[in-house]
Amino acid sequence: MRLLGTLFLVVGLLVITFGATWLNVVSPRLEKLPAGYRHEDVFEGTYRVLDPATGQLDEIPVTVRRTRESVSTEGDTAFVTERTTILPDTAGISMTAEMWEAIIEKMATLLAAIGEPAPQFPPAEADLEVDRVTRTYEPPGIYVLGLRFGGMTFPPDVKRDVEYPLWVDEVGGVLPAAYSDSAERDGLEVYRFTIEAQDVKLSPDEESGLPRLCDVHIEYLVEPRSGLVVDMDSQSSISVQDTKGGEALVFTSALGVTDEGVNDNLSRARVERARLVLLGSYMPWLVMGLGMLFGLYGIVLLGIHYWRTRKAIRTG
């Protein structure tokens, strides 16, 4: 019985050590941005661009497709290529290819007339370095002529009482996303985080040198355990200040993830949440609990052995 008790105690301690190692070493690795990371979001909405000739905002329905793909990793750094395309939204509209080409050409002309291209039209491709743990940009991630900083997206294990500084294309900088409430989407609990900012200073208009200001309202629905954004709505506007302190609206944007994209994101979030909860939390604690039972049983057997030994000595 002594040998059996010792064996159970040793096995229990080994199992507890294995579970603790799993919890503290393996589980954090599960939260890292995977080496084969790839995510695509498709947004649909409307751009309104100032026509200098008429002084009116021309409304253009658009589809924005943004793909982020990890091409390689080095330690805790992922090298991510981001590709963005912006096309007129042809849903429900019958037009020839030549007509759409004319619209695209007009968009380019109008934006050039404004001065500096609006930040809603990022370069077609950007090479970025992202921290795989925090999801924040690392130098020298390039965005146009400057560096990106702040978060690419939310990290795993999102907290309600934390503000997350996220990179916002609309302003070419970082703005804080704050928790506003919780919601449920198809049985999945999500947190709503909101970015609300007014009169954010942009670079001056290239031609006139007048100041430009941007208003931004962005809502994210985030699955908190995985940090995946399942839905996003964005509204922004850019105004140019005149010499008398007045403002002229030159650009607006209203974009949201497509219904198909939201459904895909919800499915992916369920899988990621289950993986992190099961393999990252339940399994190591279950293993440690099993080790504690082995150890406790070994202690009981050793206790019985020593009790019988002392009893035999006393009666002998």
Cα–Cα distance, 310 to 303 (Å, whole number): 11
Q: SS3 for 85?
A: strand
pLDDT band at 85 (very low <50, low <70, confident <90, very high): confident
Is the separation of the CB atoms in 152 and 137 below 8 Å? yes
d(CA 169, CA 255): 13
The answer to whether the beta carbons of residues 23 and 279 sit under 8 Å apart is no
Taking 70 as the threshold, does the pLDDT of residue 92 lie above it? no
Say what the pLDDT of residue 102 is.
53
Q: 193: which 2 tokens?
A: 């985080």
- Which 8-state DSSP code applies to residue 54? T
Q: Which of 292, 293, 260 lies closest to 65 in space, CA to CA?
A: 260
**237 band by pLDDT with thresholds 50, 70 and 90:** very high
CA distance 66 to 39: 8
Sheet of 188-202, strands arranged across: 137-138, 125-131, 77-88, 56-74, 38-51, 247-257, 229-241, 212-222, 188-202, 173-185, 164-168
Spatial distance between the Cα atoms of 234 and 218, rounded to a whole number of angstroms = 4
Q: Per-residue pLDDT averaged across 242-265, rounded? A: 88
| Residue whose structure tokens are 């002084």 | 55
The residue count of the chain comes to 316
Between 38 and 97, where is the model more confident? 38
Give domain limits for the chain.
Answer: 2-24+278-315, 31-257
pLDDT of 98 strictly over 60: no
- Answer yes or no: is pLDDT of 114 > 50: no
Q: What angle, rounded to 10 degrees, do the helices at 2-21 and 283-315 form?
A: 160
C-beta atoms surrounding 305 within 10 Å? 16
Positive or negative, the Cα torsion across 216, 136, 223, 270? Answer: positive
> Does an H or E element contain 18, and which?
helix 2-21
